[in-house]
Structure 1
């Protein structure tokens, strides 16, 4: 399959590069394809994308000097309708023959088919049409360049252009800029008519962006205008707008110096047909009205219930359904307070986080009862969402566990559960699937299933025994979530039952910063079908079966094929080697491996009880989905088992066979876990990005545990990790992934990816992934799997490869091919590039970017 795909890929590349290599095939006669543009400023070539983006016309983008997007466009026919008509419609003989096989109506529809029209539309929409040189656009570019540099203080800038032929129907354009000497800011004065504004300006004057001695730059003046506007509006000047700030720039006979005067006139407004002016004033809030009402019913006659709470007036159509405090706690606009834009933003975000209202509307008007007109009435309109809502989804799935699956998900929500804006969500999920796994020998098509349910309730505040506003103020949007869930598997692995519960606090200390604190997170995993272990973990069975053949083993342990019987044979052999009265004495190396198999079997078949607390902090500078230059930082600390240990000791709970304490006869886990992740994206040009990621995680068992539960361990490999290895198939260390599902308690992952545009919709990527997992301070005896010291870093595996992504707009489909570049599990002389070929590559299909 891999070889076939590799051949298909090479054929596609061959077709695009060679069949469509004539880049000018869609260029009309008498026209020229723009193949290169160059910007020279004072005879120096400029490649700064902020400047080259000023060029109205730029050549078709290239990858490794090849304009793939143009070639893809050229593959599409410019007039598929005409070609189809001449071939099938106007050729009456062929039309009649085709109509006999189909029908006349279907022949006409054939012209709209994908093969005759759709594929050409797809190619042209995916590729980029040729950029035909246009002299008018070139002259507009000259004006744009002169305007840009004029705004940067080069008032005497000169700009010209030249064109050169670089081949048949191909042309290069060069823009030549001579800047001259820039003007610099000299004196800065102000003329502010309103005394209130003048006083505010003096308080922020030292923070001005306009500095004496700097080059004149109009963008700085615009930024200063925005800064002052935000400052005034956040300090009570309700009716202030940017257009009230103007600048008087004097450059006449100043010796290339600019004397700046900041002008702010009085407030101008229309009173009927008359334009009036008055000084700006600082406004205060005299009244706050809150309406929980449908927007279509905003009239006095629809108000049937009202009340006043803590200086807020609340109105409703019908009985007021909310505790007043729950609403007013989310409002940052207060009676007697100064008007401020940031209070509007906080109020809007806080009320939106409630999830019981649609996006709120806040309106202001001058209080007519105020004779000096410097007080405002604030009105907040809240449109309640439906109290009950129902959602359903349906998916067809495929995974490494099931060949085919059908999954369904149902959700029922109740809003404003206790009349304090709480949200209750009850969800159920189910999945049935088909698996050919040896662990599930069943002749039925749907032979595996999984179902579960979750109940979550969200409180838009902290549930705390005492007031926490001074610790976490409401401006940080605190919330509390309680959740409980249950899931059960049948014919999947060991048929686990999974019971979970959590009590979680969330808050946002700063914009783009989030904190999550799990006061407790409990998980109980029960293995129902322990006897299925060696059917599931075939690597362990094969190793045990192979070792047994070297010794005198009870013949009753084997089947007719001389393989150990599961479970009587495998358990009997393990008991004969490791039991209290052993009868088989293997070599030291075999004994070590048998003991390792037994320890892993005990670990993966034991029931797990985990009671943990954790703290997670995330910070990002990403502002929107189009931000290609940002970083994300995440740290998490988790501690498990301490409370259960205290309870077990206080209640004198008995010890089990492993001499560990239990709760309700279940051995509980105790460990300390910490994770660090840093993602950084560097934007180059034309949305080309270098994306990097660093991840470090370690979980150390102690006290009641000598290993980490499988559900809290780390694995390596997969579509979002080291893509040259499949999930769970890398590590630990240099042990060579001896198990079916390899895990460990220490992980290092380093990733770097160069993402570039092939066309507007097709993206390419080159990547390098490095990392591994190790066992660290646990009970694993395999020296090849352990992290001993810094010398163990030589066991970091390296994978590299390439990827192709298609941008659908709302989602990105991703296909990556990973090659094992450095494999620490093989002999030292064979580690580098030994399996660097398609036959040993790993194909990864995913949705959106890996990091």
Structure 2
């Protein structure tokens, strides 16, 4: 098809999409295309006016049919079929999934929206505001027009808290120091509501179990001065007597085998066990009593505290042993102002087996499939321990790139035992909402790279995982052991080692004995924030204690354990991500990774599996995995055709990506990536690889576009990327922007990289 035909087709589609929006609007009606909102400029700050405008735009209803470049695709699809008789099928999908019924002007209630606007601005302190509503028509389209004159905003002149001799009033008065109601600040109904909630929350921390924020009243007097108000915080006169009293915890009852289908409390004879402050009622000893003492944070005699209440429930849930957790408090019959706590726990099935079939990709541009079989035993030793044994087998292949044809076959198994507490000779405790875990792990993996070699890897670790809160998480492996050996090394690979000796380290035996610690902070679960961040810092130390014991200080004469030299190094890596949310549809995501590894003592270089690599589907996407650096070294000229060996001791990577929703589950992205790796020391085999003060001039840079198909259960990602800067070229010639030629097949073959991956890159 000629270019003219493409242009004609494009204009035809645009015409159909653009014109069909009003073609089937009912006679006598108009298509509603949105609204305008004008706020007259007054004495209020511009920031206040903008905030009010933004809030009002969200409140005005209905929302019009979405448009794109002046077109309304949803109306086009809706109008393709006049009638659809079935609730499913292709026609129903086109009309009601791709399409959407037209929003008509007759559905717009101008007076209602005017009242919404007036009510909102008055709640923000503009008591004398004036608003109006009207509409305009253009052809078969109509638009609503709203105008607001805010006039003067009332400010808070004084705030008075209750003065009374009763306990409740005294407690409320002590909370005034941190009040949200500040003298001189604008009157705001939302702030007043938040203040009532704050006081209620604080009282719940001080034993006032039956108190409710609705028992508080904030009276407003707007006659005290010109555009000022007095606020009087009062306790309502008719609140229940028990809402005025503090309550303490008396008895604590736990039902660990509660059955939702029948009331096991009343229909079956239970055994009662006393443990510390707990009374555990069960028909059989399913759980050891100490697990509840460590999980529940209330003690007999404590003032009721809402935080402790919620933390205890959350800790029971995060044990991972109970399907349902129910809790209630009842007044004690014999002690006034005392509560008995009841916990009803429904256990999960103790043993289960799960089979998973996965599609996966990795940073080396390999895609493949994996089959996992997982067997779990909850409450293994009656202390809510989780024993999980898994076996896996998988195949990975590179669709395109220099590893094409060299498939990877993997199989192995792993066993994990997790205790929901700290197992330690030292006293360790946690009062957070998350139960701390102690984890022991053993694993084995056999990896066969066809035509090259096979690797056997054993891993073992013992450590702790704990969360301070939903944002902060710690992972400490006190002991981390890894042993790798190779066999079945092919003649092809041996011949490449002769040409490139550094390939030998891939198949050398490696023994790592050390400690790792990582800290993660994230607030990405907060969806309504303008800025979200993610940070992960990791420290990896190996061979230090063993090195001191064995006196390892000479890498030319390394000490060995069981005939294998152990690795000695320190490694630090930090990953920081920032997400700026323009709105719900568009986000600017950025990432910076900094890493450094220093070998010493028993090691001359980092173990191969601990070195840094860069490039690939989730890194610098304009370059193949492990094909950049180190430094200005060009590994493509000397490296074999099937395995890049471009690794380093230092790493710097920067990424930024603009993400936006194009249509429902389809999202688009524009991105720029930059970075490189370096060696700490000079290498005769890799000239230009050493880190220097000129490192910024040695960054690889790439850019591209992509689509993300977000099906909620799976995100399929496609990216097209191309280099903007090649660090291995001569200085002065590294920027290759002028060479970009999408119409040139030779340029595309050499520079245009297609990445297919699962999930977002970061």
TM range (shorter): 0.7 to 0.9
CA contact (8 A) 1:733 1:773 kept: yes
CA distance in 1, matches of 2:285, 2:109: 62
- Among residues 204, 208, 211, which one is paired with 2:182 in the alignment? 211
CA distance in 2, matches of 1:376, 1:178: 54
CA distance in 2, matches of 1:802, 1:31: 42
- Out of 689-698 and 328-337, give the one that drifted further: 689-698
TM-score between both structures, scaled by the size of structure 2: 0.87
CA distance in 2, matches of 1:376, 1:726: 65
1:733 alignment partner, SS class: coil
CA contact (8 A) 1:40 1:46 kept: no
Cross-structure match for 1:501: 460
TM-score between both structures, scaled by the size of structure 1: 0.79
User: What is the correspondence of 1:379-418 to structure 2 with a 5 Å cutoff?
Assistant: 379-395=342-358, 407-418=370-381
- Among residues 619, 627, 644, which one is paired with 1:721 in the alignment? 619
CA pair 475-144 structure 1, distance change in 2 beyond 3 A? closer
CA contact (8 A) 1:821 1:836 kept: no
Cross-structure match for 1:794: 697
CA distance in 2, matches of 1:440, 1:686: 40
CA distance in 2, matches of 1:207, 1:80: 61
Cross-structure match for 1:20: 17
CA pair 688-601 structure 1, distance change in 2 beyond 3 A? closer
User: How far is 1:323 from its partner?
Assistant: 2.1
Structure number with the higher helix fraction is: 1
CA pair 321-644 structure 1, distance change in 2 beyond 3 A? same
Cross-structure match for 2:217: 246
- Post-superposition Cα deviations, 1:51-73, rounded to whole Å, max 9, x if no partner, equal 4212324555556xx156x2265
CA distance in 1, matches of 2:285, 2:352: 20
Structure 1 runs not aligned, ≥5 long = 86-108, 270-276, 536-565, 575-593
User: What is the correspondence of 1:328-343 to structure 2 with a 5 Å cutoff?
Assistant: 328-343=293-308
1:451 alignment partner, SS class: strand
Cross-structure match for 2:37: 39
- Among residues 284, 308, 311, which one is paired with 2:248 in the alignment? 284
- Among residues 75, 78, 81, which one is paired with 1:79 in the alignment? 81
1:146 alignment partner, SS class: helix
User: What is the correspondence of 1:731-810 to structure 2 with a 5 Å cutoff?
Assistant: 731-738=629-636, 739=639, 740-741=643-644, 742-777=646-681, 781-789=685-693, 791-810=694-713
Cross-structure match for 1:90: none
- Post-superposition Cα deviations, 1:578-604, rounded to whole Å, max 9, x if no partner, equal xxxxxxxxxxxxxxxx5xx11x12212
- Post-superposition Cα deviations, 1:668-703, rounded to whole Å, max 9, x if no partner, equal 221111111221111223442222111111112122
User: How far is 1:145 from its partner?
Assistant: 1.5
Cross-structure match for 1:582: none
User: What is the correspondence of 1:236-275 to structure 2 with a 5 Å cutoff?
Assistant: 236-252=207-223, 254-265=225-236, 268=239
User: How far is 1:500 from its partner?
Assistant: 0.5
CA contact (8 A) 2:258 2:265 kept: no
Cross-structure match for 2:757: 846
**Are 1:820 and 2:723 counterparts?**
yes
Structure 2 runs not aligned, ≥5 long = none
- Among residues 249, 272, 275, which one is paired with 1:306 in the alignment? 272
1:517 alignment partner, SS class: strand
CA contact (8 A) 2:412 2:443 kept: yes
CA distance in 2, matches of 1:603, 1:616: 27
User: How far is 1:334 from its partner?
Assistant: 1.3
Cα RMSD of the aligned pairs, angstroms, is 3.5
CA contact (8 A) 2:579 2:589 kept: yes
CA contact (8 A) 2:210 2:242 kept: no
CA distance in 2, matches of 1:712, 1:309: 48
Cross-structure match for 1:50: 55
- Post-superposition Cα deviations, 1:553-574, rounded to whole Å, max 9, x if no partner, equal xxxxxxxxxxxxx65xx67xx4
Cross-structure match for 1:141: 113
- Post-superposition Cα deviations, 1:441-477, rounded to whole Å, max 9, x if no partner, equal 99xxxx96421010000011111112223xx556663
2:295 alignment partner, SS class: coil
Name which one, 1 or 2, has greater alpha-carbon Rg: 1
User: How far is 1:113 from its partner?
Assistant: 6.0
